[in-house]
Amino acid sequence: MDTALGDGLGLEELVRRELREAGFTVEPTLVSAEGGLGVWLDPTRGVVITWGTSTDQLVKYATVRAAVLLALRTVLVEGGHQIREDSGGLELVVIS
């Protein structure tokens, strides 16, 4: 992964900080729990962000999920990041 901001771990910490400052709960682990975000570095893809990926949540809260993903995209793009969707829209990946 090539980033303008340096190594991937630095990018992960920057993304975590920006999301917390925007009011999101960022979980300390890979798994999103109780409404928080899962954020981790995948060295081959970038910084991966997930929110509520259980099958029940995907169906039951599709509109809320769309709003959260839009908010995440907005925060990250305004922070100057390049992002893409992955895993059929279940993940946002920050690539720089």
Task: Inform me whether the pLDDT recorded for 4 exceeds 60.
Answer: no
Task: Inform me whether the pLDDT recorded for 64 exceeds 90.
Answer: no
- The one-letter amino acid at 32: S
Q: Report the distance separating Cα 79 and Cα 82, nearest Å.
A: 9
For position 73, what pLDDT does the model report? Answer: 94
For residue 9, give both structure tokens.
Answer: 């771990």
Q: Residue 93 phi/psi, 5° resolution?
A: -120, 120
Q: To 5 degrees, how large is the angle CA 59–CA 61–CA 67?
A: 125
When pLDDT is averaged across residues 73-92 and rounded to a whole number, the result is 90
46: left (phi over 0), alpha (psi -120 to 50) or beta: left
Task: Inform me whether the pLDDT recorded for 42 exceeds 70.
Answer: yes
% of the chain residues with pLDDT over 70: 75
For position 2, what pLDDT does the model report? Answer: 45
For residue 93, give both structure tokens.
Answer: 């990946």
